[in-house]
Amino acid sequence: MILAIESSCDESALALFDPPKGIAREIISSQAAAHEKFGGVVPDLASRMHLSALPLLLEEFRADIPNITNLAVTRGPGLLPCLSMGISMARALSVALDRPIQTVNHLRAHVHSVFINLHAAHPSQFTQARAELLPHLGLVVSGGNTLLVKLDTNLKITVIARTVDDAAGEAFDKGAKLLGLPYPGGALIEQHAQKGNTQSFSFPRGLPEKSDLRFSFSGLKTALRYQLEKMSDEEVKSQLPSLCASYQDAILGQLNAKMLSALNSGSYKSVGLSGGVANNRALCNLLAQSLEKRKLPLLVAEPKYCGDNAGMIAFAAWADPFAAKAGTVEPAPQLSIDLA
């Protein structure tokens, strides 16, 4: 049984993964309400909140402690003061229980999170069932990263493309802020967009050349700002649904186009969508439509495994032979977005 700890940003989370069965128990404590008034995550506050939340969450796992064989913890990328809290707790448990620690890259865990349901449905046939879906194209869209990766038949991950500026979730959140919506604004933009017209406003698609797989969202945010400067407060209020629909359409259109270009430049048996922006139903529907024509399955991470969570860290510690470094904790957590 693997006990995983996640504390890379503003969620403290623990999960227990039992390989023959699946994720046996998981608990998450969100700090979102505490950071909302600051319009973003405050690292110092977040780290202090992890310090008080993690031991309380551990209490809920007291009965499972004798069954734990391995500890897993997010080593990065993330906020250094926050990562340190989870890593310190993993170290303390490792010493107390005499169990090894596997340190897991958060982004690799997102890539593998799309297979959690496959494992839950067929735990004993998981390896074979996953092999039939490889090579796999993974689209990771979160608040801090936007990546296209190839998960090969030998489970090696290669980064195909990443964003040159903002992440897709950041584009949602920064756009929401300009529109006067609270942080994090991705889900609110989606809600307003449902009542709006995608054609009402014209927003640019970043790096539109088909041969360029990289993402770019900062120009889109600037275009929204210029558009809003031309409008009165009343106009913005009355046209909010269409502003959201057109802005969201530009983000989703770029994600869909880059996914299709990546598929054209490689050979894949499935596509995965994970990270916080994978909660967006319009994005899931758009990608599913594109993939239906190509008869490729789309695996979408379940909502509870889209944001920061410990379930995907525990799962990756077991499912990804390259994610976890057993028996060692780096002296300092990695901050780069390399998937090492």
Beta carbons within 8 Å of 209's beta carbon, 6+ residues apart: none
Q: Which of 73, 280, 301, 314 binds ligand KG4 (CB under 6 A)?
A: 280
CA dihedral (53, 59, 64, 67) in degrees, to 10, reads 70
CA dihedral (71, 75, 79, 83) in degrees, to 10, reads 30
Q: Which of 76, 86, 138, 184 binds ligand KG4 (CB under 6 A)?
A: 184
Choose between 61 and 247: whose C-beta lies nearer to ligand KG4.
247
Q: Which of 86, 175, 196, 307 binds ligand KG4 (CB under 6 A)?
A: 307
Choose between 1 and 141: whose C-beta lies nearer to ligand KG4.
141
Choose between 68 and 340: whose C-beta lies nearer to ligand KG4.
340
Residue 95 to residue 183: CA distance in whole angstroms: 39
Tokens of 238: 């009355």
Binding mask 74-113 for ligand KG4 (x = CB under 6 A): ----------------------------------------
Length of the chain, please? 340
Binding flag, residue 252, ligand KG4 (CB under 6 A): no
Interface segment toward ligand KG4; rule CB under 6 A; list 20-28, 122-130, 167-175, 230-238: 167-175
| Shortest distance, position 173 Cβ to ligand KG4, whole Å | 5
Q: Which of 85, 179, 277, 337 binds ligand KG4 (CB under 6 A)?
A: 277
Binding flag, residue 272, ligand KG4 (CB under 6 A): no
Choose between 261 and 280: whose C-beta lies nearer to ligand KG4.
280
| Shortest distance, position 340 Cβ to ligand KG4, whole Å | 17
Contact 40, 10 (CB under 8 A): no
Q: Which of 138, 169, 175, 311 binds ligand KG4 (CB under 6 A)?
A: 169
Choose between 51 and 284: whose C-beta lies nearer to ligand KG4.
284
Contact 322, 156 (CB under 8 A): yes
Choose between 138 and 186: whose C-beta lies nearer to ligand KG4.
186
Residue 243 to residue 221: CA distance in whole angstroms: 12
CB atoms within 10 A of CB 14: 28
Binding flag, residue 114, ligand KG4 (CB under 6 A): no
9, 79, 270, 334 from 309: Cα distances, Å: 10, 15, 24, 18
Q: Which of 26, 166, 190, 249 binds ligand KG4 (CB under 6 A)?
A: 190
Binding flag, residue 276, ligand KG4 (CB under 6 A): yes
Residues between 130 and 149 with contacts to ligand KG4, criterion CB under 6 A: 142-144
120, 263, 300 from 271: Cα distances, Å: 19, 9, 9
Tokens of 130: 């996953």
Beta carbons within 8 Å of 229's beta carbon, 6+ residues apart: none
Tokens of 256: 């869909």
Identify the CA nearest to 82 among candidates 185, 5, 27. Answer: 5
| Binding positions for ligand KG4, rule: CB under 6 A | 142-144, 169, 172-173, 184-187, 190, 275-277, 279-280, 307-308
